């Protein structure tokens, strides 16, 4: 157990500011005096947990099917045939996972032991983040690369998962520069759960790789950590608010865990979990997540602040639309691809693309205030990728072909920024090609 875990609730006042791609700045100085009017305190986030019983988690997963067709934007808008698209995506995968270690790859094969491989953030001192591990697991299961998937999951279970204490079961992630900046990033852990369920559906669980059992254990931890620990212990709580149905910023913020982020929302995953488990909670989570994405967005630009209260109101002093926020476009796009989006999400996606079109499709910068004021005018390949993916959700937008063309014309990311840019590029390509599918 790390020193940071032993510090417990003292860390509720820690502040990590900035927004490096990934979970950086997950922890922030949060007042415990936030009122219901300021966003609504979570009544399940107290310090005793005595009124919170366990939610029943099923022992097995139900098969999940997708009743419709998967929209292929590359084919529909650019006229690309399936072999050309598949070859382009596979070439990108091979470069990012098995290319030159110094300039291309983000996949460290055999890291710390046989059959243990990881994804590293090249830009930030080769840190290993649950964000990258989770996204890479999603990519590998969708592309049918089981060996790489299994190596990634073995690494996470062996090297990142806590094995004792009140935080047992959570996965440690590196989240910023320097010592003591690790965290329990719920974003990556949510992708662990989704990817494991997809792996169970595609490859089936085995005694050596019990995808099903591991996924269900994650859901149990997300919802029942406080019940398991008989309350909030050393600041460790549930990953999800049990009465507001929304994911919290981080489970170590349970005492003030009534804030969330648009970039943490995964409504398509919650739909999948509801189908796979039969649990009403996840249907409610999908609905709450849909509402948060819309309510937190700026009414003019559609951009989201980094942090929001559970009613969508921005947290005072929160940064605006940063690199971390790019993940929000992916959530909207996947929701649309799987046909699970709410009616007002198409309007929101359209609003976001209209804003970036107003900035110049080939010229817009990387970060903004939520009202659209540019902060960093430098081009961000990851943002280009996710805006293209958002065209799947904004089906009536007259500019969407140009956004998709921008993604197609990009080279596979390389160099120091290839971790975040590469992962978001590959996920966006899978969405745009209709290859990010339900299994």
Q: Could you please report the per-residue DSSP string of 299-324?
A: TTT----S-EETTSPBPTT---B-GG
Calculate the alpha carbon distances from 73 to 214, 250, 344 in Å.
34, 35, 21
Counting residues of the chain whose pLDDT is more than 70, the rounded percentage is 86
Find, among 231, 227, 159, the residue nearest to 2 by Cα.
159
Tokens of 26: 């997950």
Is residue 49, in this structure, part of any structural domain at all? Answer: yes
Q: Cβ contacts of residue 411 below 8 Å, gap of 6+? A: none
Helix (H, G, I), strand (E, B) or coil at 422: helix
Which is it for the CA torsion 275, 276, 280, 284, positive or negative? negative
The pLDDT assigned to 174 comes to 84
The pLDDT assigned to 255 comes to 46
Is residue 239, in this structure, part of any structural domain at all? Answer: yes
Please compute the mean of the pLDDT values over residues 225-254 and round it to a whole number. Answer: 91
Helix (H, G, I), strand (E, B) or coil at 183: strand
Report the mean per-residue pLDDT for the chain. Answer: 88
Residue 418 class from Cβ within 10 Å (0-12 exposed, 13-18 middle, 19+ buried)? buried
* 10 phi and psi angles, rounded to 5 deg: -55, -30
Q: How confident is the model at residue 196 (pLDDT cuts 50, 70, 90)?
A: very high
Task: For residue range 9-67, list pLDDT tens digits in order.
Answer: 333 333 223 333 334 443 322 222 222 223 333 333 333 333 369 999 999 999 999 98
CA distance 107 to 149: 11
CA distance 377 to 124: 21
Q: Cβ contacts of residue 119 below 8 Å, gap of 6+? A: 106, 107, 108, 128, 129, 132, 133, 135, 136, 152, 419, 423
Calculate the alpha carbon distances from 342 to 230, 291, 333, 339 in Å.
36, 9, 12, 9
> Within 13 Å, how many C-alpha atoms sit on residue 49's CB side?
22
Is residue 438, in this structure, part of any structural domain at all? Answer: no
* Candidate from 91-105, 172-186, 355-369 with smallest mean pLDDT: 172-186
Q: How many domains does the chain have?
A: 1
- CA Rg, the chain, in Å? 20
Q: Cβ contacts of residue 374 below 8 Å, gap of 6+? A: 359, 365, 367, 368
Is residue 262, in this structure, part of any structural domain at all? Answer: yes
Number of C-beta neighbours around residue 79 at 10 A: 8
Q: Cβ contacts of residue 293 below 8 Å, gap of 6+? A: 262, 265, 267, 304, 328, 331, 332, 345, 348
Is residue 308, in this structure, part of any structural domain at all? Answer: yes
Contact 137, 122 (CB under 8 A): no
**What CATH number is attached to the domain comprising 386?**
1.50.10.10
The pLDDT assigned to 4 comes to 38
Contact 421, 95 (CB under 8 A): no
Is residue 296, in this structure, part of any structural domain at all? Answer: yes
Counting residues of the chain whose pLDDT is more than 90, the rounded percentage is 80
Is a pLDDT exceeding 80 seen at residue 241?
A: yes
CA distance 328 to 249: 14
The pLDDT assigned to 111 comes to 82
Name the helix (H) or strand (E) containing 260: strand 259-260
Task: For residue range 273-305, list pLDDT tens digits in order.
Answer: 999 999 999 999 999 999 999 999 999 999 999
Is residue 439, in this structure, part of any structural domain at all? Answer: no
Total residues belonging to the chain? 439
Tracing tokens 């006229």 back to the chain, one arrives at: 79
Is residue 99, in this structure, part of any structural domain at all? Answer: yes
Rounded to 10°, the helix 418-432/326-337 angle is: 20
* Candidate from 16-30, 64-78, 101-115, 185-199 with smallest mean pLDDT: 16-30
Tokens of 188: 């990556």
Which range marks the domain in which residue 49 is found? 3-432
The pLDDT assigned to 180 comes to 56
Q: Cβ contacts of residue 126 below 8 Å, gap of 6+? A: 120
CA distance 364 to 67: 37
Which is it for the CA torsion 274, 277, 278, 282, positive or negative? negative
Calculate the alpha carbon distances from 197 to 160, 171, 334, 341 in Å.
20, 18, 16, 20
Q: How confident is the model at residue 256 (pLDDT cuts 50, 70, 90)?
A: low
Q: What do you get for the CA distance between the two ends of the chain, in Å?
A: 35
């Amino acid at each position: 157990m790390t020193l940071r875990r032993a510090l417990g609730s003292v860390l509720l006042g820690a502040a990590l500011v900035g927004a490096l791609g990934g979970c950086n700045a997950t922890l922030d100085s949060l007042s415990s005096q936030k009122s219901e009017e300021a966003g609504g305190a979570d009544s399940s986030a107290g310090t005793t947990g005595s009124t919170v019983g366990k939610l029943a988690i099923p022992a097995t997963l139900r098969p999940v099917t997708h009743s419709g067709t998967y929209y292929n934007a590359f084919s529909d808008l650019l006229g690309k045939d399936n072999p050309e698209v598949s070859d382009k995506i596979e070439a990108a995968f091979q470069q990012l996972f098995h290319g030159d270690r110094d300039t291309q790859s983000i996949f460290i094969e055999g890291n710390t032991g046989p059959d243990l491989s990881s994804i590293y953030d090249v830009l930030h001192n080769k840190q290993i983040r649950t964000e990258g591990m989770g996204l890479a697991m999603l990519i590998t299961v969708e592309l049918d690369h089981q060996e790489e998937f299994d190596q990634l999951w073995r690494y996470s279970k062996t090297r990142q998962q806590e094995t004792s204490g009140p935080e047992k079961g959570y996965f440690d992630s590196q989240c910023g520069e320097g010592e003591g900046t690790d965290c329990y990033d719920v974003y990556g852990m949510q992708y662990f759960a989704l990817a494991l369920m997809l792996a169970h559906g595609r490859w089936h669980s085995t005694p050596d790789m019990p995808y099903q059992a591991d996924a269900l254990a994650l859901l149990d931890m997300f919802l029942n950590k406080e019940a398991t620990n008989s309350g909030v212990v050393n600041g460790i709580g549930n990953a999800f608010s049990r009465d507001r149905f929304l994911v919290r910023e981080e489970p170590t913020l349970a005492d003030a865990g009534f804030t969330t982020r648009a970039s943490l929302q995964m409504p398509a995953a919650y739909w999948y979990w509801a189908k796979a488990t039969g649990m009403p909670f996840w249907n409610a989570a999908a609905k709450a997540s849909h509402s948060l994405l819309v309510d937190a967005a700026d009414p003019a630009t559609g951009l989201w602040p980094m942090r929001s209260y559970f009613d969508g109101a921005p947290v005072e002093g929160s940064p605006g639309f940063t690199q971390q926020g790019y993940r929000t476009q992916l959530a909207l796009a996947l929701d649309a691809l799987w046909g699970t989006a709410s009616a007002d999400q198409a309007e929101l996606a359209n609003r976001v693309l209209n804003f970036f079109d107003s900035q110049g499709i080939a010229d817009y910068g990387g970060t903004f205030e939520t009202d659209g004021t540019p902060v960093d005018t430098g081009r961000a390949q990851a943002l280009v990728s996710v805006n293209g993916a958002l065209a799947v959700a904004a089906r009536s937008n007259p500019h969407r072909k140009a956004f998709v063309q921008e993604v197609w014309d990009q080279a596979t990311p390389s160099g120091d920024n290839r971790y975040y840019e590469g992962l978001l590029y590959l996920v966006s390509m899978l969405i745009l090609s209709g290859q990010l599918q339900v299994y």
